[in-house]
Amino acid sequence: MEDVKNWESKFQVCKYSDQLLNLVADLNTKVRIPSDIKTIEKACFYARLYHGDQTRKSLEPYYSHPLIVAYLFSLYVGNNIQRYYTTDLIVIAILHDTIEDTKLTYEMITEIFGEVIAEGVQDLTRLSNEIKTTAADTVNSLFAQYKFNILHVKVFDRLHNMRTISFMSSEKQKKITAETISHFILMSSYLKLHKIKQELIRLCDENEAKQSQYSFECKSTLPLLPVSPNLQNEINRIHSL
């Protein structure tokens, strides 16, 4: 494993990390509890190191995705839900695909960043007994455990994937869009992420129109998952802080 003590001398700023770090620096002047830029910078280093030469379908470096997810997450919660504007959650967003897609392990993340961050990354890892699960399974699991903080990261992960969906195969686009309608739009509604919900609806609508397979209006009226009064009260409490 890369020597933790030497990461700073090896860190290279790229346009993705620069965008994120500049945002965090700005938000830190406005929020009650600023995030630790140095730890976030270290997470950027390890995401780039371990994602390495992996690329997205867009041919962008893969590490650009988690850094953009962290940017979108930070921008939203820093301005709207400051309770979730924390170093731990931003780092979790940056590292969210590392256990699943790289050689960075839970144990290594624990050693470098601590157990809380490692647990958060593990929560977002779509592997169960070496079998890849669906994003819908992850959403259902996090929802059942009341892990709303991690759910927020997952929603912004899906938002970026929907913004870049045109690079996926037609079959993959249909699957991701259907999953977004059935789980992520509803979850955004539950979490009161209204602007995100509207953008997801628009992106799904645009993709459905392009695919010309079926009408989004017919698919968007899916039955809601049951929400207990206690759960709804907790969601309301989070947004009142």
Q: What's residue 229's pLDDT? A: 57
Distances (CA, A) of 106 to 68, 97, 98, 115, 204: 22, 12, 9, 9, 34
User: Minimal CA–CA distance to 203: which of 153, 152, 168?
Assistant: 168
Task: Answer yes or no: do 39 and 75 share one domain.
Answer: yes
Same domain membership, residue 86 and residue 169: no
The three-state secondary structure class of 82 is helix
What pLDDT is attached to residue 235? 54
- pLDDT for residue 6: 85
CB neighbours (10 Å) of residue 127? 12
Clarify whether residues 160 and 234 are in a common domain: yes
The domain boundary residue, chosen from 125, 143, 164: 125
Q: Domain end: 103, 125, 147, which one? A: 125
Phi and psi at residue 128, in whole multiples of 5°?
A: -135, 115
Q: Do 111 and 148 lie in a common domain? A: no
* pLDDT tens across the length of the chain (241 residues): 555 678 999 999 999 999 999 999 999 999 999 999 999 999 999 999 999 999 998 899 999 999 999 999 999 999 999 999 999 999 999 999 999 999 999 999 999 999 999 999 999 998 666 677 889 899 999 999 999 999 999 999 999 999 999 999 999 999 999 999 999 999 999 999 999 999 999 999 988 787 664 444 434 443 444 445 555 565 566 556 5
Statement to judge: residues 96 and 181 lie in one domain: no
CA dihedral 200, 67, 32, 39 (to 10 degrees): 160
Q: Which helix (H) or strand (E) holds 127?
A: strand 127-128
Spatial CA neighbour of 199 closest among 241, 168, 158, 240: 158
Looking up residue 3, the CATH number of its domain turns out to be 1.10.3210.10
d(CA 112, CA 174): 38
pLDDT of residue 223: 41
Same domain for 180 and 108? no
Residues 216 and 188 in one domain: yes
- What is the residue range of 13's domain? 1-125
Q: Could you give the number of structural domains in the chain?
A: 2
Q: What per-residue confidence (pLDDT) applies to 105?
A: 96
Q: Domain boundary residue among 69, 99, 125?
A: 125
pLDDT value for 216: 46
* 142 and 117, same domain (yes or no): no
Residues whose CB is less than 8 angstroms from the CB of residue 85 and which lie 6 or more positions away in sequence, other chains included: 27, 31, 33, 35, 74, 77, 78
| pTM, two decimal places | 0.87
Are the C-beta atoms of residues 203 and 196 closer than 8 Å to each other?
no
C-alpha dihedral, 214 to 220 to 225 to 230, nearest 10°? 160
Q: Are residues 121 and 225 in the same domain?
A: no
Claim to verify: residue 115 and residue 144 sit in the same structural domain: no
- 163-209: per-residue pLDDT in tens? 999 999 999 999 999 999 999 999 999 999 999 999 999 999 988 78
Nearest to 63 by CA among 116, 112, 106, 19: 19
Q: Are the C-beta atoms of 55 and 82 separated by less than 8 Å? A: no
Is 70 found in the same domain as 171?
no
5 and 117 inside one domain: yes
pLDDT score at 2: 53
Q: At what angle do helices 115-123 and 87-95 cross, to 10 degrees?
A: 50
